[in-house]
Structure 1
Amino acid sequence: MRTIFHVDMDSFFASCEILRRPELKNEPVIIGGKSERGVVSTANYKAREFGVKSAMSIVRAKELCPEGVYLPPDMKYYKSLSLKIMNILNGFADKFEPISIDEAYLDVTDKLDNISPMILAAKIKKEIYNQTKLTCSIGIAHNKSIAKIASDFEKPNGVTYVKYDEARDFLKDMPIRKISGVGKVTEQQLINLGIKLIGDLASKDRQWVIEKLGKSSLRLWLIANALESSDVAPRESSESYSTEKTFDEDIDDKDLIFEYFKKMCRRVSNELKEDKYLAKTISIKIRYDDFETITRAKTLPFHFNDYKTIFDETLFLFDENYDVSRKIRLVGVKCSNLQQSVEKQTKITDFFDL
């Protein structure tokens, strides 16, 4: 039986800022866009007491928490701390999979010959705190999906260990949206079928779920039944190259949007070339004036880093998915699924764009 850790740093960006400005320790700290039209990236737990959440508009956050400390993100600083943390985690793992700047999966199965999972988790937390003065929460389970849900169970600075024979009971009373990948649309589809809790989905026949929701829903059914078994997959690079633009005013002028896409695609292309990477997947983000956000991606049969391919595929995705009756607040472009374009030594710093 495998043992998987999901390690998630606690309100990472805000915690990094408090680390270098200790006087903010007891203040509500909100990290977000520089303009009034930006969105909240991270809010510390003090700010969350006022109802401030990630992806909320800065304007709304200031309505809820006018006395908060609002700071623009400093990604170079955050990534320097993340690099230390990921190096620590890599040292504790048999297999290591960073999935973002502040979270990672660890397969620690072979590390547990003479130590319990809880003791190993305590060692990891202690080492991270000793080297960075930052806290994390850890979920422990026999698979990745339950470990991820568990890491959020006792935040901040907690550890939750879900044993194999307790996994289904742990999940059954949780809302279905707790499953990673269940957004508003999928949640509503499930609710329409009478599925509100993870246990509701687990109790359904596997074939019934596929017939009602399609083959892709099998993943959700497996997670609900504690049967998901994807590997912790070491990655050569978890990088993606991306850029976004929040407009000063909501717009529906496609020609103007295309002009912004030109600049964004050229920037991403230049960064890929500078760092000697090729991408295979391109994604776009569209945020409408009511804050509904959609992302769409396309994986090509070849690798690329040239401007023309990035721009052409961006426009294709946009044309296929844009609702012309609505105004747009933000657009974004991302290239991922990377491959080195020349011989280059792989090292832990390849996970970060420092």
Structure 2
Amino acid sequence: MERSIVHMDLDTFFVSCVRLQNSDLEGIPLIVGGGDRGVVASCSYEARRFGVHSAMPIKMALRLCPEARIVKGDMELFSRYSHTVSQIIEEKAPVMEKASIDEFYLDITGMDRFHGSYKWTHELSSLVTRETGLPISFALSVNKTVSKIGTGEGKPKGNLEIPQAMVQPFLNPLSIRKIPMVGNATFTLLSRIGIRSIGTLAEMPAKVLQEMIGLNGLELWKKANGIDNTPVEPYRERKSLSTEDTFHQDTTDMLFLRAILSGMVEKLAYQLRSEGWLTSNVTVKIRYSNFDTETRQVTLAYTSADHTLTRAVLEAFEKLYQRRMSLRLVGVRFGRLVRGSYQINLFEDTQEMMSLYQAMDKIKNRFGANAVMRCSGAFVKPKMN
């Protein structure tokens, strides 16, 4: 049976949410992001006409579009709208995968026996807009790759159906940049040998691509040929991430305890970014030598940045650890997780900080989570009591 896979994407999601709160922002160039030294988290189509795009430094965006209005992002608001949309889709769709805060995959294979699959999907997208006020685009095709590319081509508010017979004619004229796994380095490499369209890439021998790019070469060839058997994974929201450490010997060594906590935060924050999460709730746990256990929670703006989370954890620890009694255990928990499209909190952090985290994460992705770490998180031996 031919699969029916839908990709749904909320159009300029952050911008749309902000405009629902303030109708005066309709129709004007709008940028959602941080301050002067921050970066663009999202921008309206009016701003995009001037060349503004996501992850661009705010200063550069304002040079391109001086009339743009800048609005600070509100992850609490965005998370609430995302949750509402998730509930609407989940109630109707047989299988839903939430890929990020603003995009979803649906497997509706077999539903054409009872409803027209395209008609059903169109009605669902209309329901989302009617219930939330948020514009949404979708594409219906035979797999995730083609439907995701189709959604991008149909924006804004586009609704495309790409049956199996039309997959290659649809893909062939498009730039290889449209394939989700093609980054700047791969695009540059392929462009040098004249491969710029998906059609040209699809005609390349798979073996040659493997020799050029490595293991990803075969996957790239498959996607260029419209082949993708990746299943739609049922949506299950993670509630929290946590870790704790029980010491071999009870200690009051503050230098050691701070280093342990900093290291825990760094590893958990890397996991947040790797899995695409943001957190707004931090809990620190301590257990004294007499087994008394205490915790302290801190609420903060949604983030996955080490420096912000480390500061919150250490401040909570200082307030929590009041008895001058030895500790046998410390732990850290990140709660109230929401999906985010960005690896760090684009509303608070600078372009320089974003580049630093991206570089560190790239090293960790390649060589392991312990390949690089902050000095503050380097574990030291506790002093003997």
TM-score (norm 2): 0.67
CA offsets 1:241-269 (integer angstroms, 9 cap, x no match): 3579xxxxxxxxxxxxxxx9566457589
CA offsets 1:172-215 (integer angstroms, 9 cap, x no match): 11111110021111111112233111111100112221122212
Equivalence for 1:9? 10
CA offsets 1:75-125 (integer angstroms, 9 cap, x no match): 101110111101111123222110111001010113322222221122112
Equivalence for 1:273? 333
- Whether the aligned pair in 2 keeps the contact of 1:100 and 1:238 (CA below 8 Å) is no
147-156 or 117-126: bigger deviation: 117-126
Q: Gaps spanning 5+ residues in structure 1: where?
A: 245-259, 278-282, 301-312, 320-354
- 1:229/1:268 CA distance change after superposition, 3 Å: farther
Which residue type is aligned with residue 11 of structure 1?
T
CA offsets 1:43-98 (integer angstroms, 9 cap, x no match): 01111122211111100111122221100100101110111101111123222110
Q: Which structure has the larger Rg?
A: 2
Question: SS state of the match for residue 104, structure 1?
Answer: strand
Q: Alignment identity in percent?
A: 30
Which residue type is aligned with residue 362 of structure 2?
R
CA distance in 2, matches of 1:297, 1:101: 26
TM-score (norm 1): 0.72
CA offsets 1:306-334 (integer angstroms, 9 cap, x no match): xxxxxxx7662469xxxxxxxxxxxxxxx
CA distance in 2, matches of 1:98, 1:268: 29
- Whether the aligned pair in 1 keeps the contact of 2:29 and 2:69 (CA below 8 Å) is yes
Question: SS state of the match for residue 233, structure 2?
Answer: coil
The answer on 1:20 being equivalent to 2:21 is yes
Equivalence for 2:362? 296
CA distance in 2, matches of 1:154, 1:221: 24
CA distance in 2, matches of 1:7, 1:161: 12
Q: 1:132 Cα deviation (Å)?
A: 0.5
The answer on 1:316 being equivalent to 2:371 is yes
The answer on 1:117 being equivalent to 2:137 is no
- 1:91/1:111 CA distance change after superposition, 3 Å: farther
Equivalence for 2:200? 200
Q: 1:291 Cα deviation (Å)?
A: 6.5
CA distance in 1, matches of 2:313, 2:207: 43
Counterpart mapping for 1:1-354 below 5 A: 1-33=2-34, 35-237=35-237, 241-242=272-273, 261=306, 264-265=309-310, 273-275=333-335, 294=359, 295-296=361-362, 298=364, 316-317=371-372
Question: SS state of the match for residue 170, structure 1?
Answer: helix
Length, aligned pairs only: 286
- 1:24/1:184 CA distance change after superposition, 3 Å: same
CA distance in 2, matches of 1:261, 1:2: 41
- Whether the aligned pair in 1 keeps the contact of 2:3 and 2:142 (CA below 8 Å) is yes
CA distance in 1, matches of 2:161, 2:155: 13
- Whether the aligned pair in 1 keeps the contact of 2:39 and 2:351 (CA below 8 Å) is no
Question: SS state of the match for residue 109, structure 1?
Answer: coil
- 1:105/1:317 CA distance change after superposition, 3 Å: farther
Provide the aligned C-alpha RMSD in A. 3.2
Q: 1:299 Cα deviation (Å)?
A: 7.4
Larger RCO (CA under 8 A, 6+ residues apart): 2
Question: SS state of the match for residue 296, structure 1?
Answer: helix
Which residue type is aligned with residue 14 of structure 2?
F
CA distance in 1, matches of 2:46, 2:217: 37
260-269 or 218-227: bigger deviation: 260-269
287-296 or 67-76: bigger deviation: 287-296
Question: SS state of the match for residue 362, structure 2?
Answer: strand
- 1:163/1:275 CA distance change after superposition, 3 Å: same
- 1:52/1:238 CA distance change after superposition, 3 Å: farther
Question: SS state of the match for residue 371, structure 2?
Answer: helix
Equivalence for 1:345? none
- Whether the aligned pair in 2 keeps the contact of 1:13 and 1:42 (CA below 8 Å) is yes
- Whether the aligned pair in 2 keeps the contact of 1:98 and 1:238 (CA below 8 Å) is no
Q: Gaps spanning 5+ residues in structure 2: where?
A: 240-270, 280-304, 317-330, 338-342, 375-385
Which residue type is aligned with residue 241 of structure 1?
L
- Whether the aligned pair in 1 keeps the contact of 2:39 and 2:56 (CA below 8 Å) is yes
Q: 1:223 Cα deviation (Å)?
A: 0.5
CA distance in 2, matches of 1:276, 1:21: 26
